[in-house]
Structure 1
Amino acid sequence: MKAIEQRIDRLDKVDKPYQQKAIKITLPESSQMKQGNTVIRANKLSAQVGKRTLFSDVTFSLKSGGKIALIGKNASGKTTFLRQIMHANEAITRGDKVKIGYFDQQLKQVDLTKTLWENIKEVSIHDDQMNRDCLGSLQFVPDDLPKSTTVLSGGERVKLALAMILLSDANVLILDEPTNYLDINAMKALEELIAGYSGTVLFVSHDRTFVRRVATHILALENEEITLFEGSYADWENSKKASISRGEEDNLLIEMEMSAIAAKLMEPRLTASEKAELEQRYQEIVAKRK
């Protein structure tokens, strides 16, 4: 019996496997912006590549605390738009307390002469426990901390760069394709980190599942316009479907009215003035249909 108890005691002392915990990255009060305050405002923003117009006369305001997905087709101008936000011009204004952190695939913020932990300590405004929790959520283990960044894989450098931005004093994060090179677990961890981040996030991702889970607002770049939709990606999709349905219904009503007018024009008893009035109405409807 005693031998069994000793074996149970030894089992109890075995280290538990690492368990990912949900964390909330809260900015210090000095960096926080009041919820609902404008962080970025665009007024008649335009961009061209050569003679090709990407978007023109775009006007919108982004509020603090939002997780905003910028969506649009390839080569529609999303990266150009993000760079314009980064390098403010006469068409872009920022809130007084706004500090932007920028992520792209070049990973310039990662210093290859330093270790993983040194990179984090260089930029983080949080305590060591929060730093470790953030890295742990991205699947870094304690043995990774003293590693030179030169030995990290491409995906690990992406995760490090994201952790550095999330832990920095930036209160508006601009993320250009942050999900590239991330596996499913890392992507899920990033979703949770962004959801628990108290600042504002503007991001581009071609991963629709990621956008659906993270976005609270949608910036849609379509037909040389950028439109802000206040709602999730699912809400935006439903709104688009409803808009298409309304358009189809309107076209059906127009077709019906055109048919009715065409039938009246066939009536032999029409006076010249009545016929002229119907023909004018018919042309107005044709113009509306276009």
Structure 2
Amino acid sequence: MLLIECSNMKKYFGDRLILDIEDLKIYSEDRIGIIGVNGAGKTTLINILTQKLEADEGWIKLHGRYAYISQLEAPDNTSISSEMASKFGIPSAWHENLSGGEKTRFKLAQSLDNNSIMLFADEPTSNVDMEGIELLEQSFGEYNGALILISHDRSFLDKLCNKILEIENGRIKIYHGNYSGYQAKKIQEKERVEFEYQQYVKEKKRLEEVISDTKEKVRRIKKAPKRMGNSEARLHKMGDQKAKATLDRAVKNIAARIEHLEVKEKPKKAERIQLDIADSNRLYSKIVLEGRKISKVFSNKTIFRDADFTIYNGTKTALIGPNGCGKSTLIKMIMKQDNAVKIAQGARIGYFSQDMYILKENMTIIENVMETSGSAENFARTLLARLLFKREDIYKKVNMLSGGERVKVSLAKILLQDINFLILDEPTNYMDITSLEAIEEALKDYDRTLLFVSHDRRFVDSVADHIMTIEDYKINMFQGNYQEYLSRRNKPLDNQKQEIEKRVFVLQNRLSEIVGKLSLPSKNDDIIALDKEYYGVLEELKKLKENL
């Protein structure tokens, strides 16, 4: 069923054309992920489609009721049913003291409770922990209607979307499939563009060589010999002139063919970010950071109780866990060099905090990153270009940047410092996918120690080789990537389930024996003891089955 129609729509911000869409149709079975760099017009597009914002040209038709989850706006209604509140683990009434994750859950619960046939969501996973993201995935997956969402969470887009809508230079292009399918198609497109360019260069070169050879033939046409008679010389000259004219025409024809070749621009290859770190700052201690018997209580709430951890030199450790478990507390204890935390001598820490205090508002982007850079300016420019700050952009002042742009500049400034231990607190929030993947690529190649907090599962799995979790006031360390961690975490549950099933089988057999003896007791059977055992076995079976 057709739910949204859009034709010849244009939207300007000042003189800048933000969106230029000839045709867009959205159907009830569509589950669309909208992607594009920061500032491409993703939120603007959703606001126009929901008629919260008017287009400057063209028309939009909306057929049916919709729900909208926005990170910036408060919900339309400030209360939800007790059933939805229970399902999403939140209060039934909205208030501003809710955490970022709780606010997102509240908006989701309200949206799913209004019988809409379209659901729009703008960065719904921001400030939501992994458990919350999985709940969002499940809820969106069960939603019976069209889903249109903006997200930089690639795993989220993979799980939920059957179409990816890319916005680039104001234009849209729709790719069928999820985000991984989109990535594969983009690679094919790049390969095709590269092939067509090489074919263009090859053909142009061939034609230019033909022209060069033909001109050489013209140059070699000889004049009439001196001994030749006048009549013979005249005939010779006429033949030469005819041959020369033929060759000149050939040159002109080939030159025209070159002019009519469809020009193919040379594809731009993204430069790989290789963090060029001097060996002079290398740390040789085996252990970079360790905590012993860490205890912390806030307002009668226990965060840590005799917790221990060790981070080894050269490892990349992801600190994960639900909101409120103590991740930020632990990072702050490390940065303040708490007595329970020991940092290796010679460790130079680069710290990314979400408040981005390291940026100076009245300085330009390039001035900010070069202020503490241990690298040359051309390398800094390469890094900034990969983060989509190109040419004149690097001269923008920080106070003119958006939140997402500030995150990228702050990260660039830290990555360029003369450090040997990186600590990053939620570096991927508010970052577009292109920039996120550039940072991801740089961190994968980073050959010093890294500790980072993130709820982005794809980012964690791609970068981390150790997983650090906080559970039951303790800090647990796992050697391996995120997928290996999940596999290992689920194995004890599987083993436990198998043990329970074995125990249930044994008890059921024993129950049958007891029932048989109670039905036809022998002289040696103690009826009272058997009866007592019967009820004991029944109770144990009941408890075991509850855990299956």
TM bucket, shorter chain: 0.7 to 0.9
Cα 1:147–1:5 shift into 2, 3 Å? farther
Superposed, which structure 2 residues align to 1:28-177 within 5 Å?
A: 28-34=278-284, 37-177=286-426
In 2: Cα distance, 1:145 partner to 1:17 partner: 23
In 2: Cα distance, 1:256 partner to 1:88 partner: 54
Equivalent position to 1:22, from 245, 267, 272: 272
SS at match of 1:250: helix
CA contact (8 A) 1:66 1:200 kept: yes
TM-score by length of 1: 0.84
Equivalent position to 1:248, from 473, 484, 497: 497
Match of 1:198 in 2: 447
CA apart distance, 1:168: 0.5
Give % identity.
33
In 1: Cα distance, 2:342 partner to 2:514 partner: 57
Superposed, which structure 2 residues align to 1:263-278 within 5 Å?
A: 269=524
Q: For structure 2, which runs of at least 5 residues remain unmatched after alignment?
A: 1-250
In 1: Cα distance, 2:339 partner to 2:259 partner: 72
CA contact (8 A) 2:304 2:473 kept: yes
CA contact (8 A) 1:218 1:232 kept: yes
TM-score by length of 2: 0.46
CA apart distance, 1:225: 2.0
- C-alpha distance after superposition, 1:162-200 (max 9, x if no partner): 011111122111111111110010111110011122221
Cα 1:265–1:196 shift into 2, 3 Å? same
Cα 1:56–1:139 shift into 2, 3 Å? same
In 2: Cα distance, 1:104 partner to 1:159 partner: 12
In 1: Cα distance, 2:403 partner to 2:333 partner: 27
Q: For structure 1, which runs of at least 5 residues remain unmatched after alignment?
A: none
**2:472 partner letter:** N
CA apart distance, 1:222: 2.0
Question: Is 1:228 matched with 2:509?
Answer: no
In 2: Cα distance, 1:222 partner to 1:154 partner: 32
Rg comparison, structure with higher value: 2
Cα 1:270–1:226 shift into 2, 3 Å? farther
Cα RMSD after superposing both structures? 3.0
In 2: Cα distance, 1:127 partner to 1:81 partner: 34
CA apart distance, 1:105: 1.5
- C-alpha distance after superposition, 1:231-277 (max 9, x if no partner): 00000010011111011122223334445666677766368xx99xx
Cα 1:44–1:254 shift into 2, 3 Å? farther
In 2: Cα distance, 1:172 partner to 1:270 partner: 72
**1:20 partner letter:** A
CA contact (8 A) 2:349 2:419 kept: yes
**2:305 partner letter:** S
Number of positions where the alignment pairs a residue of Structure 1 with one of Structure 2: 278
In 2: Cα distance, 1:4 partner to 1:77 partner: 71
CA contact (8 A) 2:292 2:306 kept: yes
In 1: Cα distance, 2:501 partner to 2:293 partner: 35
CA contact (8 A) 2:273 2:438 kept: no
SS at match of 2:354: coil
